[in-house]
Amino acid sequence: MKVIIGTDIQQAKAFLEQGNVVGIPTETVYGLAGNALDIEAVTKIFEVKNRPTFDPLIVHTNSIERLAEFVQFMPEKALLLAQKFMPGPLTMLLPKHPSIPDLVTSGLDTVAVRIPNHPLTLELLAILDFPLAAPSANPFGYISPTSTQHVAKQLGEKIPYILDGGECQIGLESTIVGFENDEVIVYRKGGLAIEEIEKIVGKVQVNEHSSSNPKAPGMLKSHYSPKKDLLIFKGEKFGNNTDKIGYLAFQKHHSEITKENQLILSESGDYKEAAKNLFAYMRQLDNMDIDKIYVELLPEKDLGRAINDRLKRAAVKL
Ligand code: TXA
Ligand code: MG
């Protein structure tokens, strides 16, 4: 592995200014960042991730003032949400300014914008004179990374530098919202709970089937998947032969399955703790000597909704 892992924002800046892509920490998941205004750097992002170019990227910057330069206008509700939740785990789809290359938005007339809440990345963004396009730093279709180790293991041969910001504090990708007339529409459930958004702008619409919606071409059905078969637990009885079964529980072990094969998202039932552990635990189970992984769904509220969304997308379709 030739990648350098460090905390030197000047070094990260130098690589980015040369058109290279760099791993960056955010509060949600690690990103694979490149100069959003440089077509060659953006092309590299798609190549390194093995991602189809019809799946658009999020543009990251460090202030609402700079963000406003990349969009045509901000509806009132967008401004309210920005003031409340940026920096934070929220991405907004807004009418795209011509300065953003079409490659970034896959030809759509909206651009996804976000201000990540991580001190090191905010510092880096502040010393750059361009915004960063950054998808999650995982090979296309696999689980998102929440530590430098996750990034290095899968992309370490392909990128020169990972900025080390420790473990991601939220652990789920940002919540993506768009605006239609006066309505707020959630296109991806994520690290900001819908309940929190509704406190600011009232009732929102949730687009449950964004995978088939042209507004969000990248939200494909099969996503966030481990290599092993992952199945949603529906109260099955397992009998005696459970040595090769892994189990991802919310609060309590499953009594029929070997304890060594089980991981618990949060014994106290804390949604934030469960979200933070989710992707790392999915990876851990994927690397165990087991044949398949059963997962429990959480109650459909708070971050449980986003966690369930990821689990269902990761599950094999029977
Ligand atoms: O938390 C996050 O959002 C992380 C960190 C690194 O910021 N980024 C992230 O990026 O999750 P990515 O590329 O893995 O997921 C972005 C999603 C994709 O499903 C993409 O299709 C959608 O956002 N998207 C981006 N631009 C869009 C647009 N203009 N319209 C609709 N969907 C868009
Ligand atoms: Mg992703």
| Nearest alpha-carbon partner for 151 in 169, 173, 167, 172 | 167
Within 8 A by CB and 6+ apart from 256, the residues are 237, 238, 239, 242
Ligand 1 centroid vs 106 CA: distance in angstroms?
Answer: 12
pLDDT band at 211 (very low <50, low <70, confident <90, very high): very low
Range 140-144 average pLDDT:
94
The mean-pLDDT minimum among 32-41, 128-137, 233-242 falls in 233-242
Residue 97 domain-assigned (yes or no): yes
pTM: 0.95
Residue 249 β-bridge partners: 264
Q: In the structure, which protein residues have their CB atom closer than 6 angstroms to any atom of ligand 1?
A: 26, 28-29, 31, 55-58, 91, 93, 105, 108, 110-112, 114, 116, 134-136, 173-174, 176, 215-219
* Closest ligand 1 atom number to CA of residue 33: 6
Q: Which parts of 31-147 are beta strand (E)?
A: 31-35, 58-60, 90-95, 110-114, 132-133
Range 156-160 average pLDDT:
98
Residue 111 in 3-state DSSP? strand
User: Hey, what are 48's tokens?
Assistant: 């390194």
Residue 163 domain-assigned (yes or no): yes
Ligand 1 centroid vs 55 CA: distance in angstroms?
Answer: 8
Whether 130 and 267 map to the same domain: the answer is no
Residue 218 domain-assigned (yes or no): no
Residue 214 domain-assigned (yes or no): no
Identify the helix (H) or strand (E) that includes residue 230.
strand 229-232
User: Hey, what are 39's tokens?
Assistant: 């077509």
d(CA 110, CA 17): 26
Domain that includes residue 305, residue range: 229-314
Whether 124 and 28 map to the same domain: the answer is yes
Residue 232 β-bridge partners: 295
pLDDT for 114 beyond 80: yes
d(CA 255, CA 165): 38
d(CA 76, CA 71): 14
Ligand 2 centroid vs 31 CA: distance in angstroms?
Answer: 9
CATH of residue 148's domain is 3.90.870.10
Instruction: From 91, 114, 179, give the residue whose CB has the most ligand 1 atoms within 8 Å, as the site to mutate.
Output: 91
pLDDT at 217: 44
pLDDT at 219: 55
Whether 174 and 237 map to the same domain: the answer is no
pLDDT band at 53 (very low <50, low <70, confident <90, very high): very high
* Closest ligand 1 atom number to CA of residue 105: 29
**What share of the chain in percent tops pLDDT 90?**
90
Whether 139 and 233 map to the same domain: the answer is no
Whether 94 and 238 map to the same domain: the answer is no
Please tell me the total count of domains within the chain: 2
Ligand 2 centroid vs 57 CA: distance in angstroms?
Answer: 9
Whether 96 and 127 map to the same domain: the answer is yes
Residue 281 domain-assigned (yes or no): yes
pLDDT at 66: 98
Whether 91 and 171 map to the same domain: the answer is yes
| Nearest alpha-carbon partner for 31 in 120, 110, 95 | 120
